[in-house]
Structure 1
Amino acid sequence: MTSFLGYTLLSLGTGALYALLACGVLIIRRGTGVLNFAQSGFLLFAAYFFDQLATAWDIPRALAGIITVFVTGVIGLAFHVVVMRALRETSQLNKVIATLGLLIILQAAVGLLFGSATRLAPSVLPRAEIELAGQLIGWDILVRLGVIAAITLCLWLFYRYTTYGHAATAVAENEQSAASLGWSPDAIAGMSWFAGAALAGLGGVLLAPLQNPLSSGNLLLLIVPTLAVALVAGFTSFPIAFFAGLAISILELQIQVHSGDGSSLKGLDKAVPVLLIAVFLMIRGRSIPERGHLSEKLPRLGSGRINVPALLIASLLVLAMIWLVLPTTWLNALTINSIWAILLLSVVVLVGYTGQLSLAQVTFAGISALVAGRLVAVYGWPLELAFVAGIVVVVPVGLLFAIPALRTRGIQLAVVTLGMSVAVDAFFFQRQYFSPAPAGTGRSVFGEALSRPEGTLVGEPTLFGIDIDNTLHPERYATLVLVAAVVIGLLVANIRRGRVGRRLIAVRTNERAAASLGISIFGAKMYAFALSAAIAGAGGVLLAFQQRNITYGGGMFDPFQGILIIAFAVAGGVGYITGAFAGATLVAGALASRISDGLSGLFSRSATLARVAGAVLAAVLGFVVGQSVQERIVNNVRFRRWARYAPVVGLGTFAVLGVVFSDRIQGWLGDLERYLPLVGGIVLILVLMQPGGRGIAGTTVDQISWVSSKVPKRFRRRDVGRAEMVGQLAQSTHIRADSVTLTVAGLGVRFGSVRAVDDVSFTVEAGKVVGLIGPNGAGKTSVVDAITGYSPTATGQVTLGDQALHDLPAHKRARAGVSRSFQNLELFEDLSVLENIRAASDDRRLAAYATDLVHPGNRPLSSTAIAAIKEFDLLDDLHRPVRDLPYGRRRLVAIARAVATRPSILLLDEPAAGLDEQESAELAVLTRKLADEWNLGVLLIEHDMNFVMEISDHVIVLDFGRKIAEGTPHEVQADDSVRVAYFGATTTEPVGSH
């Protein structure tokens, strides 16, 4: 017991550090709605900056601490003003990735400003010790704990009892509402960033000595327990964050002490807290988002189309250069570029196509490398078999990482996967793995080499008996990785164009809508993680065997590399195949490094050329900045007339600055590679600030499209697909649905203690329209959600014909023949109208997950889908993105997509909402036609009573979750209880008469 208390007291300092950083995360989250992944980056900068002030510049420590806290806060404020304010209208995904970009910039800046020499953070607190519970405890630990406890208490009181605290919370929830009350969202967000960063700066002053000697990697990875603490606190509660930080540090230290460094359980202390948090999130999460979940605007997607001639010519040209032209340094750069392109392709599948923000790609790569490396080094396997084995082993790991994604999403998933990645690194990668000693080397009594190399010495790898050692034959290894990158790129492109790609993109865009089309959310996410893990595993094996000696811990498979993988993928264009290759060029040692080396040598020899190059680069940057400004002010009445001059002004201004600071620019250009990580972070931020999240690849595609649009029409490719569709529409006829009845018996739905639906029963027969009406809050949509599987039913049964539906998940109810539309449309905005219809009419066979890798399964549209296109007059809009359609057309697309699933029962939730009188009349005719000619049973929810009464065969009225009337439209209109429900008192005016 004494030992437990002693170790608990020792852990208080680390717990206080976790709590302080988490409080900073909470401040920024509560004031801006953004989860800041760069909090440990602020701490890193503050620790090194404070040491520089106090040690190198000999400034008094108290003053140095104040300066450090203030400067760190200013950096946070500047980041808000320059970056986050410009990203205000973008998705949470983009904002989170922007903070990852800031983390990269801070790490690179610390390396450039303070070098790589070992530093010891000075302490500003007393070093005396006191004995508690048989353990000597430093007074500094207790002082730190007291200071953090006081700060936590003040923050809790501030946000709970002050008007500003309430306003900050309101801004994060709804900026417009807060602004209407006179609060400036921008000012509150700026102060939140300043305060959150300043707290990290205080951590750098008070708590960094606990991490001595200072290590960039260790300090950055403090973000994992910090975010874990913030998650437990629900991103809102400061007291819970304080006690959660202490609890996690106590748990870590106790496990670390009892497992021991030499134990097989080494690293378990990093794994257990993460696993507990993952379980906590999964219990609290939902498999399908709630009704109020908003779909965010995500990065743009490429089409996946392959220009075969261009690909063949480019591949042959590069292969010729590999074997005939390129020197070894360029071959190594091309090898690194191709390997990282493979790693980034895994992100395209998982983040770009499926929308699952995972930071675990480096873990997948490391596990495959570990398995393959050990098989080659210890058991003498040939590389081709070890390569396959590494991929096979990592697929189940990908499935394991997918489990949290089944009930969590977005930033919570990013936190969990980063934490799991750190746990795997601590438990597996940080161990020493050694290969058998070379012949003649002395061995211990255990048969191990007495003089062992660091890492696993794998010897000379062979592929089908051919020596491909990168050191001896760099051209062979470069050819291997290039071919692998191209093949994997083709597989990913096939996925994008096929049925599986539409499933994944549907899940990425709107999980509720995807389930309504019969798409298994579970299956899509598990497949995306498994395929992504396999691709990352392939890249990991190739990365490891690039050198003879594989080191699994440290830089090669460090968890921070997982952040870099996401960052480079987004910079390149996370929705594009070519974006993976473009983003990979930014990696240290890749093609951009070789180009920078060549330019550095050239510019160091010619000052004039360096000045010209600096001016040109500055001008290009100015033009890009000007374009960004133009896109943001073109709709502003005050600045519209000047918007067209913004790119030219930016170009000229930056060009002048390039000339003025030409001497400084020459120095930078002479040492470009040192600045490459910093440049990569800045490029990521600039890409995110561009509208649409296009990345390098997306911007290039847009420029090519602009050039193509200038080509005369007679030289453009003819739209053969439209001609074929016209022919199919001319021959199409709708197929009458099976005559089955939907029966709802004793349906009850509860949300906590609230009874939303209470003992509701009715039937919907084939060929009939049943109206479901009632005042706002009557429970109408809750009934539809319960029928379709989006809300759990407390009581009652739902059957379709003889098949019971109440125990089936949402996607299986859709496959059984119950389809629905949504009040908020829930369309797949990133896809065209045709792709929306295809996503609904595609078959759901599991074999597609394998076959689409080789050949996309784009079979002809079903007769029902073609008939829906014809019925709703969508031919001219088929190839238009849904987001470009007017609202009325979007309503029609939503219903046509539901019809394309070939249902027996169609549930329409306020289909006429937002339509004008003429559009409503046309929709009423279509709805009646679906029942009369298509034989569909239609359950209609609508507030337009004239619409309902005109086309319904039967009407059911709900009030406060209970059925108060039913019958023909005439009978319902004459019912006194219905008039009371709508008007609050008995009236002679029929419902729906006005």
Structure 2
Amino acid sequence: MIDLLGYGVLSLGTAALYAFLAIGIVLIRRGSGVLNFAQGALLMFAAYFFNQLSEQWNIPTAPAAVLTIAITGLIGLLFHVLVMRPLRNSTQLNRVIATLGLAIILQASVGLVFGSDSRSVPTVLPDGKFTVFGQEVGADILIRFVIISIVASGLWAFFRYTTRGLATTAVAENPQAASTIGWSPDAVAGASWFAGAGLAGLAGVLMAPLQNPLSSNNLLLLIVPALAVALFAGFVSFPLTILAAFVIALIELEIQVHRFGEDWSLKGLDKAVPVVAIVLFLIWRGRSIPERGHLSEERPMLGTGRVNVPALIIGTAIVLVLIWFVLPPSWLGALTLNAVWALLLLSVVVLVGYAGQLSLGQVAFAGIAALVSGRLVATQDWPLEWALLAGVIAVVPVGILFALPALRARGLQLAVVTLGMSVAIDAIFFQRTYYSPAPEGAQTSIFGDALSKPEGTVVGEAHLFGIPIDKTLYPERYATFVLIAFLIAALAVASMRRGRVGRRLIAVRTNERAAASIGVSIFGAKLYAFALSAGIAGLGGVLFAFQQRNITYGAGAFAPFQSVLIIAFAVVGGIGYITGSFAGAMLVSGALGSRIGSAFSTSLGKVPWLSRLIGTAIAAIAGLAIGRAIQRGVGHLPRYLPWIFLAVFAGSGIALGGRMQEWLTNLDRYLPLIGGVVVILILMQPGGRGIAGFATAQVQKMSNRGRPTLPDSERGTSIKILDDSNDRPQRVGATTSLVVKDLTVRFGNVRAVDNVSLSIRSGEIVGLIGPNGAGKTTTVDAITGYSSIASGQIRLGEVALTAMSAHKRARAGVSRSFQNLELFEDLTVLENIRAASDTRDALAYVTNLVTPGNRPLTQAAVAAIRVFDLEHDLNRPVRDLSYGRRRLVAIARAVATAPSILLLDEPAAGLDEHESAELAALTRRLANEWGLGILLIEHDMAFVMDVCDRVTVLDFGRQIASGTPAQVQSDPVVLAAYLGDESNTEPVEAETTTSVGAR
């Protein structure tokens, strides 16, 4: 026990470091609603800046510390004003990627300004030692922990007891409501960013000495344990932040000290602690399907996956001619690196663009595949082609491992855990000395490496099927090989995008609840997306590693922060476009963008006056952009403010004439910084399409010039069906009945549904009505598998549904619509219908990589299109339709699954009287002509009483009546539930009850 207490005291320094960062994250999250992934980068900047002030410029320690904290806080405030405020109405994904852009800018700036020399931060706290629980601990460590505890206590009291603190919480939860009572959301968010960034500055002053000598990568990656701590605190609680930081730091120290008997093969296991903590938390708190009311955010624009075959053939031929007959070795190297990184970015297009899973683990995939392939070649003499295949196959299970948290987490939580897993893999696998061959008698680990002779893994000259393709001797061969590999992967992804697997992934990305309702396995789609993404990234990793004859895995090539760059560059290129992967890769240092920039800067170096002129023009444009951003962000500023910034920046460009020339002639050095800025600028553009999306839009505009614009009535799509002999089938699904017996659903101690029983037969419409909060939608959620039931039975014919997941119930024949529509906004009407009617074969996950395999529409899908009159809307994006048409698409999509039982949740909500009457006729037709059994939740009593055969009434979760519409209308218990007057026994008139029973 004493040892544990002693280790607890020793871990206080690390706990304080994690808590400092985590509290800043929580503060920014509570004040602005943004999860700041750049908090570690802010600490890194503060540490280097404080060193510069105190050690290089000899400024006294106290003023240097104050200035460091103020400047770091100002960076946070400016970032809010210039970037986050203009993005306040953007998606959460865009805003978190913007913080990644800030991290890139800060890291690049630190490298450019402070260089790579070893630096240390002086301590500002008193020295001295204390012995506590048998452990000697420095006084500075105790002081650090006391300081952060005081900060946490102060913030807790501020948010709990002060008006401004309560207002900050209110603003984050509901900015519009808070603004109506006089609180400015922008002012509150700006203050939170200033304070949160200032805390990072304070951490840089007080805590950075624990990380001496400074390493920008290590400081950046402190964000992982900090995010784990903040996640455990729910991004809300400051006291829990201190507790979680202490527990994680203590466990890390215990593992470091007791490393299972100094077992060297387990080196780095302590870095996995935050990851394990995050995963366990997500398993405890997460849900396999989002709760009702979960908002599906707008996602980046998507490409269609269509391939222009003539352009592809001509373009490939031109590039091959350039490779073999024109380009010098330096350009071939740039093209090779561009294609390799394009593969890494293509893996992001699959995972983030198509499946909507924000992952920061792509470098881990690349590194594992490179490790397996390199070791097989070096130690087992495998040929490259087989080693490459083995590496790609070996990384697929790693991708599936990364996917497991995604089964119960999504969005920012998933980004946190995948970044943590990437850090753990880097610590356990890559921070080692792998080399070949091993000296005779040397101690080796299970990985085949040793403790000395760091020569790397020697793979020698690369051969493919016996043909030498070594990059040094035959750069044109290796460039051709890499380019062909990228083209094959890109064509496979394009084929998948156009096929039914692509529609499954996009359905999951857009709306998981709706995807499950049409029979799409959320688990299967996510596992596949991670596995395919890992395979593509692994291919890129192997090709990257084999550019050299001697592979070193721990030299930074597979550092976790590279995953941040991959996401950022994918956004620049167009994260939803296959061609965007190659365009975004041009920003990589040493790739085509760097080579073009180098050629450009060399040319400028020969004409000094031109370089100075261009530099001044760039400075002027930057000043104008910053001025406009401030004007948009702050508001109520003079219109001429941007022009003042233009003049100031242009004047600075003229004054720095010689420096501007130097910067332009070394443009490739500034490429990472430029990349971070471009990421933010692209995010701030409407739609966030990136380079590829913008180019695609321009090409479409040019191709459409001169063409007549067809009216909506002439935009139809020809429909192919399996059997066109009957466009009004007598049965869509199998004839059966749904029986619900003694259904009970609990939320804590509340019985939302209490012993409800009902049945729905084929060709019958059963209404489910009741006052607001009666449990109607909860009943439908329980029947369809979206809510867990406490007791009861659900059967479809002879099939028990109770233990089935939501997507399996849909496949069994129970389909539903949603009150909030929950359509796949990223798809056209036809693609929505196709997604519902597609077969759910697992083989498509493989075959669609070769051919889309789109089959003719099923009979049920065609019948749904025709009866709901959607022929002329098939090629239109769902988001372009009127609300009434969208309602019809939602029901048609449910019908296209060919169900036996259809559950409609307020299908007439928001429709006018004419549209409601038409929908009532269509609903009756679905039952009479197609034999569907329908459960109808609706607040329009005229609708319910006209179309229903039987009606069941709920009140506070209990079933209070069931019978024909006439019987229910005259039931005094029903009247009391609706009108609150048991003496009133008059039938409920349709005209007076149209607002009853919303949910």
Q: Which residue of 2 aligns with 1:927?
A: 923
Whole-angstrom CA distance in 2 between matches of 1:750 and 1:878: 41
Q: 1:279 to 1:472 in 2, by over 3 A?
A: same
Q: Which residue of 2 aligns with 1:942?
A: 938
Whole-angstrom CA distance in 2 between matches of 1:629 and 1:132: 52
Whole-angstrom CA distance in 2 between matches of 1:304 and 1:967: 52
Letter in 2 for 1:39: Q
Q: 1:322 to 1:616 in 2, by over 3 A?
A: farther
**Deviation string, structure 1 residues 535-557 (Cα, Å, up to 9, x no partner):** 11101100100111111113110
Indicate whether 1:689 and 2:684 are aligned.
yes
Whole-angstrom CA distance in 2 between matches of 1:4 and 1:791: 43
Q: Is the 8 A contact 2:24 2:195 kept in 1?
A: yes
Whole-angstrom CA distance in 2 between matches of 1:449 and 1:932: 76
* 1:993 positional shift: 3.5
Q: Which residue of 1 aligns with 2:995?
A: none
Letter in 2 for 1:734: P
Q: 1:233 to 1:219 in 2, by over 3 A?
A: same
* 1:853 positional shift: 0.3
**Superposition pairs of residues 203-602 of structure 1, within 5 angstroms:** 203-259=203-259, 263-436=264-437, 452-602=453-603
* 1:86 positional shift: 1.0
* 1:507 positional shift: 0.3
* 1:125 positional shift: 0.5
Q: Which residue of 1 aligns with 2:824?
A: 828
Q: 1:989 to 1:741 in 2, by over 3 A?
A: closer
**Superposition pairs of residues 776-787 of structure 1, within 5 angstroms:** 776-787=772-783
The gaps in structure 2 that reach 5 residues or longer are: 993-999
* 1:277 positional shift: 2.2
Letter in 1 for 2:140: D
Match of 1:289, SS state, is coil
**Deviation string, structure 1 residues 202-232 (Cα, Å, up to 9, x no partner):** 0000010000000001100000000000011
Whole-angstrom CA distance in 1 between matches of 2:208 and 2:924: 71
Q: 1:655 to 1:63 in 2, by over 3 A?
A: closer
Whole-angstrom CA distance in 2 between matches of 1:776 and 1:352: 39
* 1:468 positional shift: 1.2
Match of 1:853, SS state, is coil
Which 10-residue stretch deviates more, 390-399 or 655-664?
Answer: 655-664
Q: Which residue of 1 aligns with 2:766?
A: 770
Q: Which residue of 1 aligns with 2:975?
A: 979
Letter in 2 for 1:992: A
Q: Which residue of 1 aligns with 2:988?
A: 990
Q: 1:253 to 1:769 in 2, by over 3 A?
A: same
Whole-angstrom CA distance in 2 between matches of 1:264 and 1:680: 38
**Superposition pairs of residues 499-898 of structure 1, within 5 angstroms:** 499-611=500-612, 613-614=614-615, 664-713=659-708, 722-723=717-718, 732-737=727-732, 738-898=734-894
Match of 2:825, SS state, is coil
* 1:647 positional shift: 13
Q: Which residue of 2 aligns with 1:965?
A: 961
Aligned residues: 981
Q: 1:353 to 1:649 in 2, by over 3 A?
A: farther
Match of 1:7, SS state, is helix
Q: 1:212 to 1:261 in 2, by over 3 A?
A: farther
Whole-angstrom CA distance in 2 between matches of 1:618 and 1:858: 52
Which 10-residue stretch deviates more, 476-485 or 265-274?
Answer: 265-274
Whole-angstrom CA distance in 2 between matches of 1:161 and 1:714: 61
Whole-angstrom CA distance in 1 between matches of 2:743 and 2:709: 62
Whole-angstrom CA distance in 2 between matches of 1:338 and 1:231: 37
Which 10-residue stretch deviates more, 721-730 or 381-390?
Answer: 721-730
Whole-angstrom CA distance in 1 between matches of 2:901 and 2:833: 18
Whole-angstrom CA distance in 2 between matches of 1:340 and 1:623: 33
Q: Is the 8 A contact 1:38 1:100 kept in 2?
A: yes
**Deviation string, structure 1 residues 747-798 (Cα, Å, up to 9, x no partner):** 1111111100001111111111111100000000000000000001111111
Letter in 1 for 2:972: D
Match of 1:601, SS state, is helix
**Deviation string, structure 1 residues 397-448 (Cα, Å, up to 9, x no partner):** 11111110101111111111111111111111111111016xxxx8556699
* 1:129 positional shift: 1.6
Indicate whether 1:903 and 2:904 are aligned.
no
Match of 1:736, SS state, is coil
Whole-angstrom CA distance in 2 between matches of 1:450 and 1:950: 82
* 1:135 positional shift: 2.7
Letter in 2 for 1:605: K
Q: Which residue of 1 aligns with 2:91?
A: 91
Letter in 1 for 2:766: V
The gaps in structure 1 that reach 5 residues or longer are: none
* 1:732 positional shift: 2.9
Which 10-residue stretch deviates more, 614-623 or 159-168?
Answer: 614-623
How high is the sequence identity, in percent, across the aligned residues?
64
Q: 1:122 to 1:659 in 2, by over 3 A?
A: closer
Whole-angstrom CA distance in 2 between matches of 1:542 and 1:909: 52
Which 10-residue stretch deviates more, 448-457 or 667-676?
Answer: 448-457
**Deviation string, structure 1 residues 506-534 (Cα, Å, up to 9, x no partner):** 00000000000000001101111111111
Q: 1:571 to 1:293 in 2, by over 3 A?
A: same
Whole-angstrom CA distance in 1 between matches of 2:367 and 2:610: 43
Whole-angstrom CA distance in 1 between matches of 2:65 and 2:626: 36
Q: 1:48 to 1:621 in 2, by over 3 A?
A: closer
CA RMSD of aligned residues (A): 2.8
Match of 2:767, SS state, is strand
Letter in 2 for 1:692: G
**Deviation string, structure 1 residues 911-948 (Cα, Å, up to 9, x no partner):** 11111111111111111111111111111001111111
Match of 2:795, SS state, is strand
Whole-angstrom CA distance in 2 between matches of 1:655 and 1:880: 47
Match of 1:749, SS state, is strand
Match of 1:264, SS state, is helix
Match of 1:546, SS state, is coil
Q: Is the 8 A contact 1:436 1:449 kept in 2?
A: no
Q: Which residue of 1 aligns with 2:100?
A: 100
* 1:457 positional shift: 1.3
Whole-angstrom CA distance in 2 between matches of 1:967 and 1:649: 76
Q: Is the 8 A contact 1:101 1:685 kept in 2?
A: yes
* 1:283 positional shift: 2.1
Letter in 1 for 2:152: T
Q: Is the 8 A contact 1:611 1:666 kept in 2?
A: yes
Whole-angstrom CA distance in 2 between matches of 1:337 and 1:531: 21
* 1:970 positional shift: 1.2
Q: 1:237 to 1:432 in 2, by over 3 A?
A: same
Indicate whether 1:75 and 2:71 are aligned.
no
Letter in 1 for 2:36: N
Under a length normalisation based on structure 1, what TM-score does the superposition of the two structures give?
0.95
Match of 2:49, SS state, is helix
Match of 1:23, SS state, is helix
Whole-angstrom CA distance in 1 between matches of 2:113 and 2:967: 81
